Amino acid sequence: MRVGVLTGGGDCPGLNAVIRGIVRKGTQEYGYEFTGYRDGWRGPLDGVTVPLDIPAVRGILPRGGTILGSSRTNPLKEEDGIRRIKENLAKHEVDALIAIGGEDTLGVAARLSGEYGIPCVGVPKTIDNDLSATDYTFGFDTAVNIATEAIDRLHTTAESHMRVLVVEVMGRHAGWIALHSGLAGGANAILIPEQRFDLDQVCAWVESRFKIRYAPIVVVAEGAMPKDGEMVLKDGSLDSFGHVRLSGVGEWLAKQIESRTGQEARTTVLGHVQRGGTPSAFDRWLATRFGLHAIDAVHEGDFGKMVALRGTDIVRVPIAEATAKLKTVDPKLYEEIGVFFG
């Protein structure tokens, strides 16, 4: 048996841990061989491979990124995509594929498995934690730790200068990183894409903080929007997902706060720092378990499935279940945590 492995979409700390888990168990327990596909779906589409065996995965557990490379290529949008993938898999004698990715990569895996007879198993990844059907995705814990550390650091400089510090974190459609890092870092306001925020309320609250000589920290997810919809996007162009680029909410918010309250405000955009570098211990643990369970699914011929975390168990769910709908922050949870903190 030969298994192809690919990583698609935005990279994420823990991808290498999954690959290592798959290759070690697959080789040692099942006697399988592996073909690494380069740059997501681009690999099987163009037939670009990388060697994938025990020596290739040695030492990669703590390394961020992916040794296979990644891309946002969608073979279903390429001319003759399915035929080219089938031909390359046959040429490489690959019997099954493990696709490690987010909504888009897994969406392709679901269709290849369900409609085109290409046996695929999915592994969920995203720092955003917004994939349904799994309690957590690896990469999220690392991103939250990075954002939390940044917020901790920003408190002291904000207090020294009595400024408002706006911290923009990733999260285009879901505010999980903002919510978790904001709470862990003791932020004073957390603004998420799921709930439009009231700018007057944010400013009134900022002013009230200054009255008690307190420099506020506002955590804002990149996809958060004001209630009145007056925010002007820096750039309305579409990215490779076909999503509108939402860059600039942090900068915009700081300017609004400054002009409306007269208090000095600064913005820190954390950006890709949240996605880079070594995975946390939790993410290595989760990613390794996903890898071990994914190769078990291949061994049992359980295709069209994705491994998922439910409580402390790893289960299998139809891939389509994870990609059907994004997992966003429940308004009740947002309310429970409180938008504004003292």
Residues at the interface with ligand F6P (CB under 6 A): 10, 102, 126-128, 170-172, 222, 275
**69/102 with CB nearer ligand F6P:** 102
Which DSSP symbol is given to 273? G
Does 170 belong to an annotated binding site?
yes
Residue 274 in marked binding region: yes
- Listed in order, strand segments (DSSP E) in the chain are 2-7, 33-37, 49-52, 96-101, 120-124, 164-169, 189-191, 217-221, 265-269, 305-310, 313-318
β-pair partners for 265: 164
Instruction: For residue 53, indicate whether it is catalytic.
Output: no
Is there a binding annotation on residue 103? yes
Query: For residues 317 and 324, is the Cβ–Cβ distance under 8 A?
Result: no
**Least distance to ligand F6P, CB of residue 193, Å:** 10
Q: Which of 104, 128, 130, 283 is catalytic?
A: 128
The nearest distance, CB 299 to ligand F6P, in angstroms, is: 30
For residue 169, the minimal CB distance to ligand F6P (Å) is 8
Which residue in the shown chain puts its C-beta closest to ligand F6P? 170
Measured at the alpha carbon of residue 122, what is the angle toward residues 282 and 12, in degrees to the nearest 5?
40
CB of 52 to ligand F6P, least distance (A): 24
Question: What Cα–Cα distance (Å) separates residue 251 from each residue in 30, 192, 221, 224?
Answer: 53, 15, 12, 12
Annotated ligand binding at 35? The verdict is no
CA 158 to chain centre: 29
Nearer to ligand F6P, 184 or 273 (CB): 273
Alpha carbons within 13 A on the beta-carbon side of 146: 25
Q: Is 152 annotated as a binding residue?
A: no
Task: Indicate which residues carry an active-site annotation.
Answer: 128
Q: Which residues are annotated as a binding site for diphosphate?
A: 10
Q: Which residues are annotated as a binding site?
A: 10, 103, 126-128, 163, 170-172, 222, 266, 272-275
Q: Which residues are annotated as a binding site for substrate?
A: 126-128, 163, 170-172, 222, 266, 272-275
